[in-house]
């Protein structure tokens, strides 16, 4: 029931909603239930995803872990910028993450974190860039999103839940919490229709 000519469909400037997405541009989350709810059926690459949590440690790594393991085959950097705690090598290694491709960047302030994130995104040789930050400046967020758009990396910004009310240029935003022993992912912004109910995940 395609009424548009094929050439037009392939035009890069034409965005066609949820139905057609470049498979390459998305990364399976490893949770079928979540994949189903996300446009492109996975985490977007070349765009900023924003993970909003009440506090670090609630379950964000369990959510991101399957995708990180999936990236191990690419052999490119997974950059962890300003992680709140020490990424624990034995657990990551046991889960199947390629430890030799992890780059932990510890910074002293917001400016350094964002600079490092931009450098990692611009370098074009990072599979994933994970950034923990409380950045509130809209201009800096915009820069981060632009850097992510120009890259092919999976960029994730982890911020406090308090920022969910603020506007953000991120392509995908979701709140993460625990509900009855399950991970609850409430998508609050994505390219395409936003699902209403939170997705419950066993992780």
Partner 1 sequence: MEAARATVPVLPDTEQQRSRGTRQRLWLALVFPHFSLEIACRGLASDEPVAVVDGHGVHVRILACNRAARGLGISIGMPLSAAWAVAAALQTVSRNAAVEAAALRGIAAWARQWSSLVSLVEDRPPGLLLEVGGSLRLFGDLEPLAARIRAGLEELGYQARLGIAPTPLAAWLLARINDGRPVRPGEALAGRLAPVPLFFLGLAETTCKALENMGIRSFGDCQRLSRSGTARRLGPELVRYLDRALGRVPDPRLAYVVPAVFVQELDLPTEVTALDALRFAARRLLLELEGFLIARDGAIEALELGFRHNRQAATRIVIRLLVPGRNARHLLALLRQRLESTQLPAPVTGLWLRADKVLVSAPPATDLFGSAKQQQEEQQLLVERLQARLGVAAVQGLEGVPGHRPERVWRYCSPGTKSPAVKSEMMAPRPLWLLACPTPLVHKPRLESGLERIQSGWWDGEDIARDYYITRSSDGARLWVFRELRGERRWFVHGYFA
Applying CB under 8 A, the residues found at the interface with partner 1 are 54-62, 65, 75-77, 83-95, 99-107, 112, 115-116, 119-120, 123-126, 177-179, 181
Min separation Cβ 155 and partner 1, Å: 15
Min separation Cβ 82 and partner 1, Å: 10
Per the CB < 8 A criterion, the answer to whether 37 and 61 are in contact is no
Looking at the Cβ atoms of 17 and 57, the one nearer to partner 1 is 57
Looking at the Cβ atoms of 40 and 98, the one nearer to partner 1 is 98
Specify the DSSP element, H or E, that contains 126. Answer: strand 126-132
Looking at the Cβ atoms of 29 and 169, the one nearer to partner 1 is 29
Min separation Cβ 71 and partner 1, Å: 14
Min separation Cβ 126 and partner 1, Å: 7
Tokens of 45: 């690459």
Looking at the Cβ atoms of 55 and 139, the one nearer to partner 1 is 55
148 phi and psi angles, rounded to 5 deg: -65, -40
Looking at the Cβ atoms of 91 and 138, the one nearer to partner 1 is 91
Q: Which residue has the tokens 């609630």?
A: 58
Per the CB < 8 A criterion, the answer to whether 176 and 183 are in contact is yes
* 3-class state of residue 176 by DSSP: strand
- Please state, in angstroms and rounded to a whole number, the distance separating the CA atoms of residues 200 and 173: 16
Min separation Cβ 194 and partner 1, Å: 24
Residue 193, Cβ density class (10 Å: 0-12 exposed, 13-18 middle, ≥19 buried): exposed
Beta bridge partners of 128: 78, 154
Min separation Cβ 16 and partner 1, Å: 31
Looking at the Cβ atoms of 126 and 156, the one nearer to partner 1 is 126
CB-CB neighbours of 48 under 10 Å: 28
Per the CB < 8 A criterion, the answer to whether 171 and 65 are in contact is no
CB-CB neighbours of 203 under 10 Å: 14
């Amino acid at each position: 029931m395609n009424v548009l000519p094929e050439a037009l469909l392939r035009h890069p400037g034409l965005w066609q909603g949820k139905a057609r997405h470049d498979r390459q541009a998305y990364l399976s989350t490893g949770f079928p239930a979540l994949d189903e709810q996300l446009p492109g059926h996975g985490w977007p690459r070349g765009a900023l995803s924003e993970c909003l949590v009440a506090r670090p440690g609630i379950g964000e790594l369990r959510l991101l872990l399957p995708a990180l393991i999936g990236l191990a085959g690419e052999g490119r950097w997974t950059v962890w910028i300003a992680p709140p705690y020490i990424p624990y090598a034995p657990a990551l290694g046991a889960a199947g993450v390629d430890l030799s491709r992890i780059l932990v960047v510890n910074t002293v302030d917001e400016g350094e974190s964002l600079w490092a994130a931009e450098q990692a995104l611009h370098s074009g040789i990072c599979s994933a860039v994970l950034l923990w930050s409380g950045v509130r400046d809209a201009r800096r967020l915009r820069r981060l999103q632009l850097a992510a758009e120009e890259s092919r990396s999976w960029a994730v910004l982890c911020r406090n839940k308090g920022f969910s009310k603020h506007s953000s240029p991120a392509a995908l935003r979701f709140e993460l919490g625990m509900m009855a022993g399950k991970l609850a992912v409430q998508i609050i912004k994505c390219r395409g229709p936003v699902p209403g109910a939170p997705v419950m995940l066993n992780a």
